[in-house]
Amino acid sequence: MSDELLKSALSVSVPLYAMQLREQPIEDLLKLAQECAETIAHHDDNILFRSSKVGDAAKAFNALAKGIAVLAIVAPGGVEVFGQKWEFKRE
Protein backbone atom coordinates (compact mmCIF):
# COMPACT_ATOMS: atom_id res chain seq x y z
CA MET A 1 0.00 0.00 0.00
CA SER A 2 1.43 3.38 -0.91
CA ASP A 3 1.97 6.04 1.75
CA GLU A 4 -0.79 8.22 0.32
CA LEU A 5 -3.26 5.35 0.14
CA LEU A 6 -2.42 4.35 3.72
CA LYS A 7 -2.94 7.92 4.94
CA SER A 8 -6.25 8.19 3.08
CA ALA A 9 -7.52 4.89 4.42
CA LEU A 10 -6.52 5.82 7.98
CA SER A 11 -8.16 9.25 7.68
CA VAL A 12 -11.49 7.44 7.23
CA SER A 13 -10.99 4.37 9.43
CA VAL A 14 -9.51 5.94 12.57
CA PRO A 15 -12.46 8.32 13.22
CA LEU A 16 -14.95 5.50 12.61
CA TYR A 17 -13.22 3.25 15.13
CA ALA A 18 -12.97 6.15 17.59
CA MET A 19 -16.73 6.71 17.36
CA GLN A 20 -17.30 3.03 18.19
CA LEU A 21 -14.75 2.88 21.01
CA ARG A 22 -14.82 6.18 22.88
CA GLU A 23 -17.51 5.08 25.34
CA GLN A 24 -15.61 1.92 26.33
CA PRO A 25 -14.03 1.74 29.79
CA ILE A 26 -10.35 2.69 29.87
CA GLU A 27 -9.38 -0.83 30.97
CA ASP A 28 -11.05 -2.30 27.87
CA LEU A 29 -9.35 0.25 25.63
CA LEU A 30 -5.94 -0.54 27.07
CA LYS A 31 -6.52 -4.26 26.56
CA LEU A 32 -7.57 -3.60 22.96
CA ALA A 33 -4.45 -1.47 22.43
CA GLN A 34 -2.30 -4.38 23.58
CA GLU A 35 -4.09 -6.78 21.22
CA CYS A 36 -3.64 -4.35 18.32
CA ALA A 37 0.04 -3.92 19.13
CA GLU A 38 0.57 -7.69 19.11
CA THR A 39 -1.22 -8.06 15.77
CA ILE A 40 0.80 -5.23 14.23
CA ALA A 41 4.06 -6.64 15.61
CA HIS A 42 3.42 -9.97 13.92
CA HIS A 43 1.81 -8.74 10.69
CA ASP A 44 3.09 -5.19 10.05
CA ASP A 45 4.62 -6.12 6.72
CA ASN A 46 1.16 -7.11 5.48
CA ILE A 47 0.12 -3.47 5.61
CA LEU A 48 2.76 -2.40 3.11
CA PHE A 49 3.16 -5.58 1.08
CA ARG A 50 0.42 -7.82 -0.22
CA SER A 51 0.16 -11.12 1.63
CA SER A 52 -0.47 -14.41 -0.10
CA LYS A 53 -2.97 -15.28 2.62
CA VAL A 54 -6.42 -13.73 2.12
CA GLY A 55 -7.39 -11.34 4.91
CA ASP A 56 -3.94 -10.80 6.42
CA ALA A 57 -3.58 -7.27 5.08
CA ALA A 58 -7.04 -6.30 6.29
CA LYS A 59 -6.39 -7.76 9.73
CA ALA A 60 -3.14 -5.82 10.07
CA PHE A 61 -4.61 -2.57 8.74
CA ASN A 62 -7.63 -2.77 11.05
CA ALA A 63 -5.36 -3.39 14.04
CA LEU A 64 -3.36 -0.31 13.08
CA ALA A 65 -6.46 1.86 12.67
CA LYS A 66 -8.01 0.62 15.94
CA GLY A 67 -4.74 1.09 17.80
CA ILE A 68 -4.42 4.66 16.57
CA ALA A 69 -8.05 5.33 17.52
CA VAL A 70 -7.46 4.01 21.03
CA LEU A 71 -4.36 6.18 21.45
CA ALA A 72 -6.27 9.18 20.13
CA ILE A 73 -8.88 8.60 22.85
CA VAL A 74 -6.69 7.84 25.86
CA ALA A 75 -3.47 9.79 25.24
CA PRO A 76 -3.50 13.36 26.51
CA GLY A 77 -3.19 15.60 23.47
CA GLY A 78 -3.97 12.76 21.08
CA VAL A 79 -1.50 11.05 18.80
CA GLU A 80 0.34 11.87 15.57
CA VAL A 81 1.07 9.06 13.13
CA PHE A 82 2.29 9.32 9.52
CA GLY A 83 1.99 13.11 9.68
CA GLN A 84 -1.67 12.98 10.72
CA LYS A 85 -2.91 14.00 14.17
CA TRP A 86 -5.92 12.53 15.89
CA GLU A 87 -7.53 13.41 19.20
CA PHE A 88 -10.96 12.26 20.33
CA LYS A 89 -12.75 13.18 23.55
CA ARG A 90 -14.36 10.48 25.65
CA GLU A 91 -18.09 10.76 26.12
Longest dimension (CA), the chain: 40
Q: Is the pTM of this model over 0.85?
A: yes
Q: pLDDT (tens digit, 9 = 90+) per residue, 19-71? A: 999 999 999 999 999 999 999 898 877 777 776 777 788 888 999 999 999 99
Q: CA separation (Å) from 47 to 6, 12, 14, 61?
A: 8, 16, 15, 6
Question: For the chain, what are the domain ranges?
Answer: 3-74
Q: pLDDT (tens digit, 9 = 90+) per residue, 53-64? A: 777 888 889 999
Q: At 1, which helix (H) or strand (E)?
A: none
